[in-house]
Amino acid sequence: MDQHASLPLDPALERWLRSGAGGGPAAEKVIETSAAWVFLYPHRALKVKRPVDFGFLDFTTLDKRQWALERELAFNRETAPELYRCVHAITRAGHDKETVFTFDGPGETIEWALEMSRFEDDSVLAENPGRIEPGFAETLGREIARFHAGARRSQPRAGIDGLAYVLGSNANLLRNLKGDLDSEAVERLVESTQAEFDRHAELLARRGEQGWVRRCHGDLHLGNIVAIGERPVLFDCIEFNDRLSEIDVLYDLGFTLMDLRFRGLRQAANRALNGWLDEAARGDQPPWEGLALLPLFQAVRAAVRVHVSAWSGDVGLARRYLIEAQHHLETPGPALAAVGGLSGSGKSSVARALAPGLGPAPGAVVLRSDEVRKRLWGRAPLEPLPKAAYGPGTSERVYAALIAEGRACLKAGRAVIIDAVFLRQSEREAVEALGAEMGVRFEGVWLELDPETARARVAARKGDASDADERVLEMQLAQDPGRVAWKKVPGLDPSAGAAVEVARWFEE
C-alpha cells in the first residue's frame, strides 16, 4: 500500500456512525484528520482510525487499529480520565439490506472505535488562546511537571536516539518542500539544528542516564490541551510510535513553550516554564542543567510544524514556523537581575513582567525566595509554613539555595531573575558576586514603596507563595538595610514601569 493512501470508510458504516451509532442523536460534526475520523455527538465522541501507513505510524490492519486505540485509551487515562471512556468493537451481523451494526455485539468485528466524552471546541487552548492568562499558564506548567514526575522512565538511549530520528526526518521532509520554502533558509536550519544536537550530545545522553527520558505525551501543543473548568487537561498523546513519545521531558514541554510564544503569548510561555521548573525542582534531580537544551528542543518542535503546515496546505504558516525555528537557535547570552524590596513592594510583579524579554526564549528563570523556601520545607507553593521555617539560620539556607540555583541556570545559558527581599547587605553582595563569577551582566533593582501602601498590599494578598503578613512587614521596616547601591524604582505601582526600565538597562 502507498504510504499516503487511505481507504474510505465503509459507506454503510459511515451512515450508521453519522446517524447516531445505534442510539441517541446524530453526529453534529465529523472531523477528518490524516489518521482518523472523529464523530462528534452532543455528549460523546467516537474516533475511528484510518487504514493508513505513514512510515512513523501503521494502521493498515484491523489488529493494528485495535492495538493503537487500546494504547490511546490507556495512555490518555493517565492525564485525562474524565475524557476517555472505552474502546468498542464494531460488529456486523446479517448481509446487504439486513446488515446490523452494533458495539461489542455478536457477529464479525469489522472496525474499532474509541469512545470519549464530548467537550466544547472553544475549550481547546488552540481554539481560545485568549483564556491563557499568566496564572493559568503557570498552572499548566505545574500540571505538565506533575505528569512528567509520574511518567515511566525509558531506556537511557531512547531520548537521544529518538531526537536523532526526528532531526533526520525533519531534514528530509523540509528539503522536499523546496518549491514552497526558501532552500537556503531550510539548509541553514538543518545545519544549525544538527550542530546544536552535536554540541549537546553528551548532555542529551547524560539526561537519559539521570532519568529525565520518560514516556511522555509526545505532541503537547495547544491543540492537545483542553480547559475543563480552571484546570488544563492534557489529551490525545502519541500512542502509535514509542520513538516519538519516549523522550526528554523538556523536549515534551518545549512544544508547549514554543507554541505559546509563536502565538504571541510570551508572558504565558515564561510563566509555564517557571511553573514547570518549580515543580520539577521538588524531585530527586535538579532540573537546571537541562535548560541548555531548550533552544534545540523548541527549534525542533517548530521545524516539525513547518512541514506539517506545508503538507496541510498552509505555506504561509510554514514559512513563519521556519523563521521561528531558526530564531530559537540564535539565542542571546545569559544575564542576571535581582529584584529586592520589602514585602508588598511588587517584586514578583516586576520580575514576572521583566522575565519574558530577558535571555533566550521563553525568557528568564525567575527564582523566588518564597517558592524556594517552600521547596526546602517540602511544602506546596500555597501551603503555609510553620514559624520555624522563618527561624534562625533559615534565611541563610534560602539565599544559599537561590545563589546555587542561579549559578546552575546561568551555566545552562539561561537568564536569571532572583526575587527576594535582600534586606541584608551580605545578601546583595552575594548575588552581585554571582554575576561577577559567571561573567554576566548584572542589574540590581530596589523597589521603594511607602509603608502604608505596603501594609495594605500585604493585608490584601492571597493565593500567593508568600507567607509574609503585616507582622513580617513590620519586622522588615524596623531593620536598616544599610546603603543600597542598586537602582531604585519609586512609585505606588512600580511593576510595569520598573520592568520596562530594567529591560532598557540591559539594552544599554
Q: Is residue 454 included in any domain, yes or no? A: yes
pLDDT in tens, 46-58: 999 999 998 888 9
CA distances from 210 to 145, 146, 205, 221, 346 (A): 16, 17, 9, 26, 38
For residues 161-177, give the mean pLDDT.
95
Q: Do residue 167 and residue 304 come from a single domain?
A: yes
CA distances from 437 to 123, 441, 485 (A): 47, 11, 19
pLDDT in tens, 71-119: 999 999 999 999 999 999 999 987 655 678 999 998 899 999 999 999 9
Q: Do residue 324 and residue 339 come from a single domain?
A: no
How confident is the model at residue 263, as a pLDDT? 96
For residues 304-312, give the mean pLDDT.
91
User: Please, are residues 220 and 80 in contact by the beta-carbon 8 Å criterion?
Assistant: no
Residue 506, pLDDT above cutoff 80: no
Q: Which residue has the higher pLDDT, 498 or 82?
A: 82
Sequence-ordered list of residues with C-beta below 8 angstroms from that of 386, at least 6 positions apart, any chain: none
- Of 91-95, 246-250, 454-458, 499-503, which has the strongest mean pLDDT? 246-250
pLDDT in tens, 413-464: 999 999 999 999 999 999 999 999 999 999 999 998 878 787 777 777 777 7
Of 246-255, 298-307, 380-389, 426-435, which gets the smallest average pLDDT?
380-389
Domain boundary among 298, 328, 358: 328
How confident is the model at residue 499, as a pLDDT? 64
Q: Is residue 33 included in any domain, yes or no? A: yes
Give the cell for residue 305: 510544524
Whole-model pTM?
0.92
Q: Is residue 124 included in any domain, yes or no? A: no
For residues 196-225, give the mean pLDDT.
97
Q: Which residue has the higher pLDDT, 24 or 281?
A: 281
Of 16-25, 155-164, 339-348, which gets the smallest average pLDDT?
339-348
CATH number, domain containing residue 184: 3.90.1200
How far apart, in whole angstroms, are the C-alpha atoms of residue 98 and residue 101? 10
Q: Is residue 104 included in any domain, yes or no? A: yes
How confident is the model at residue 340, as a pLDDT? 93
How confident is the model at residue 110, as a pLDDT? 94
Determine whether 88 is exposed, middle or buried from the number of CB atoms within 10 Å of its CB (0-12, 13-18, 19+): buried
Q: Is residue 314 included in any domain, yes or no? A: yes
What 3-state class would DSSP assign to 269? helix
Q: Is residue 123 included in any domain, yes or no? A: no
Domain boundary among 328, 343, 362: 328
Longest dimension (CA), the chain: 92
CATH number, domain containing residue 463: 3.40.50.300
Q: How far is CA 217 from the centre of its chain?
A: 11
Domain range for residue 34?
Answer: 11-118
Q: Is residue 428 included in any domain, yes or no? A: yes
Residue 156, pLDDT above cutoff 70: yes
How confident is the model at residue 80, as a pLDDT? 96
Q: Do residue 62 and residue 104 come from a single domain?
A: yes
How confident is the model at residue 1, as a pLDDT? 35
Q: Do residue 348 and residue 489 come from a single domain?
A: yes
Residue 36, pLDDT above cutoff 70: yes
Q: Do residue 152 and residue 17 come from a single domain?
A: no
Q: Do residue 297 and residue 427 come from a single domain?
A: no
Q: Do residue 303 and residue 344 come from a single domain?
A: no
Structure letter (DSSP) for residue 53? B
Q: Do residue 109 and residue 161 come from a single domain?
A: no
Q: Do residue 449 and residue 479 come from a single domain?
A: yes
How far apart, in whole angstroms, are the C-alpha atoms of residue 389 and residue 377? 7
Q: Give the pairing of strands 225-228 and 29-32.
A: unpaired
Q: Do residue 395 and residue 460 come from a single domain?
A: yes
Domain boundary among 70, 96, 118: 118
How far apart, in whole angstroms, are the C-alpha atoms of residue 491 and residue 222? 38
User: Please, are residues 487 and 443 in contact by the beta-carbon 8 Å criterion?
Assistant: yes
How confident is the model at residue 226, as a pLDDT? 97
Give the cell for residue 339: 529584584
How confident is the model at residue 495, as a pLDDT? 55
User: Please, are residues 412 and 288 in contact by the beta-carbon 8 Å criterion?
Assistant: yes
Q: Do residue 174 and residue 322 come from a single domain?
A: yes
Q: Do residue 372 and residue 501 come from a single domain?
A: yes
Q: Which residue has the higher pLDDT, 205 or 482?
A: 205
Q: Is residue 4 included in any domain, yes or no? A: no
Best CA proximity match to 139, nearest among 62, 229, 76, 205 = 229
**What is the domain count for the chain?**
3
Identify residue 46 by its one-letter amino acid code.
L
How confident is the model at residue 116, as a pLDDT? 97
How confident is the model at residue 493, as a pLDDT? 57
